[in-house]
């Protein structure tokens, strides 16, 4: 029987069939480590937003199905709770970074039906972090990116007072020029979708795992741009491994800012004016190209 005041240990027991013997404390919404009675440590995460757990589980399984990047195994879930294996972490390593870049290239190459496609079994209305993210499909990247990954968050930021109404026009001008700024056409890639450094786990076994996806079909440069936005250890090795496996189209460095608009605007909606200033700077830089 599920109750609203169920704690992580109780949820782990119900979803795995194993008795918990110890559970760490954590912030609301953050994963909590639970030790099961067979000695297995697991991570237990609660999400109350409708569809959030289903979206994350579907995303993890879609990434795993590509046979490229590694993700923690999902050991059990329902509409509110998710239990995954715990990854023992170590120090970032250049060789692991190179392999990660190669694996990320293979993940992207595994593809998606369309831009905006949700993972199989995943909801159309999903999340990136705590922000809603709609997986509406499109066949043209620039139009889809403007309509579903830039302008919704511009409108949300204006509604919250984080962006001034006049500033929205800067992003609208970028969107109008996206067909010329986007570079050569690319097929839809299978994206992690929220690939900042905090979602990259450097395993003690020398292999990288990815967690907390906002997986969808998108442009492969978006994942790479997000890694660069928030910093990633040995990023030069990650990019070298990627480019060895799947060369990027000419001009990709000049397009980084265009792809960073999505995560910057999400952060503007969630965390305030500081990110709005950064997003505006990036947008103006794109217009100056």
Q: Which residues are catalytic?
A: 194
Task: List the strands of the sheet with 32-36, edge to edge.
Answer: 20-23, 32-36, 41-46, 81-85, 74-77
Pair of tokens at residue 114: 């369309």
Q: Give the residue among 65, 107, 261 at the shortest CA–CA distance from 172.
A: 261
Q: What angle do CA 46, 49, 53 make, to 5 degrees?
A: 50
Longest dimension (CA), the chain: 60
Among candidate residues 56, 46, 49, the one with its CA nearest the CA of residue 26: 46
In order, the DSSP letters of 39-106 are: S-EEEEEE--STTHHHHHHHHHHHHHHTTSSB-PPEEEE-SSEEEEEPPPB----HHHHHHHHHHHHH
């Amino acid at each position: 029987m599920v109750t609203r005041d169920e704690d992580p240990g109780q949820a782990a027991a119900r979803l795995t069939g194993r008795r918990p013997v110890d559970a760490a404390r954590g912030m609301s919404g953050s994963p909590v480590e639970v030790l099961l009675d067979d000695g297995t440590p697991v991570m237990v995460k609660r999400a109350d937003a409708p569809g959030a757990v289903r979206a994350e589980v579907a995303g993890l399984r879609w990434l795993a199905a590509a046979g490229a990047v590694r993700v923690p195994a999902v050991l059990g879930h329902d509409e509110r709770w998710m239990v995954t294996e715990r990854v023992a972490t170590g120090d970032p390593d250049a060789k692991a970074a190179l392999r990660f870049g190669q694996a990320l290239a293979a993940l992207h190459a595994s593809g998606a039906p369309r831009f905006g496609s949700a993972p199989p079994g995943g909801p159309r209305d999903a999340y990136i972090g705590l922000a809603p993210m709609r997986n509406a499909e499109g066949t043209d990247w620039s139009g889809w990116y403007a309509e579903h990954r830039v302008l919704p968050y511009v409108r949300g930021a204006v509604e919250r007072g984080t962006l001034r109404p006049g500033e929205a026009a800067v992003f609208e001008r970028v969107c109008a020029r996206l067909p010329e700024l986007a570079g050569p056409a690319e097929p839809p890639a299978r994206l992690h979708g929220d690939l900042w450094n905090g979602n990259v786990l450097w395993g003690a076994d020398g292999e990288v795992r990815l967690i907390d996806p906002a997986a969808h079909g998108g442009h492969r440069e978006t994942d790479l741009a997000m890694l660069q936005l928030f910093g990633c250890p040995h990023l030069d090795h990650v990019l070298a491994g990627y480019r060895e496996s799947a060369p990027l189209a000419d001009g990709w460095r000049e397009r980084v800012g265009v792809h960073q608009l999505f995560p910057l605007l999400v952060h503007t909606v969630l965390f305030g004016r500081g990110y709005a200033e950064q997003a505006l700077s990036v947008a103006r830089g794109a217009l100056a190209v």
